[in-house]
Amino acid sequence: MPNARTILQSLGRAANPREAIESLTAEHGRGTTRWVAEQLGVSMRTVQRWRKGTQSPRDTGQVTGLANEQRVRINALRNAQTTSVGRVSVYSRSSGTLDGGRDVGTVGVDFNIAADLMEQGASEEEIQAAISDAVMDGYGGNGFGDVLTIDDYESFDLA
């Protein structure tokens, strides 16, 4: 079962070249295509095709390796509309004791608060708490995250 720390680490890996270039665009702005082309020794047109998804790079690892992990995490959180977490173990915020598990499954989420905290340089614990709040609010309604906090996730997939 992944815990909150491993979830943040997994979000830092660009899954594909398009995701990597998206994160680079947020970092470099308008010059991203030229910058990527120069870094990898390819034409700007080639990078444009990668960006559109009409062509795949020979070595996707080279492209995804250029992406800033923090920016990839922020983009993943901002772009997520749902998350699939399966069963989670939760703690009661009032008592601080284990409150069993919940079959959360797939829920609609708004991770913008977690993304904002990440951009502001908040601690991992604060970001993890914001992610937990968003998942629990999606599961039980607005404010449910104030009652229960997630300790472990069965899985964590964003869509």
For strands 98-108 and 82-92, give the pairing: antiparallel
| Residue from 28, 18, 26, 19 nearest 119 by CA | 26
pTM value surpassing 0.85: no
Nearest Cα residue to 90 out of 100, 80, 104, 82 = 100
Looking up residue 63, the CATH number of its domain turns out to be: 1.10.260
- What is the Cα gyration radius of the chain? 18
Q: Does residue 154 belong to any structural domain of this protein?
A: yes
From 22, 46, 76, the end of a domain falls on 76
Residues 98 and 111 in one domain: yes
Q: Can you tell me the distance from the alpha carbon of 90 to that of 147, in angstroms, rounded to the nearest whole number? A: 10
Residues 58 and 107 both lie in one domain? no
pLDDT per residue of the chain (159 residues) written in tens, 0 to 9: 566 667 877 787 777 888 888 889 888 889 999 999 999 999 999 999 998 889 999 998 999 889 888 888 898 899 899 999 999 999 998 898 989 999 999 999 999 999 999 999 999 999 999 999 999 999 998 888 889 999 889 888 888
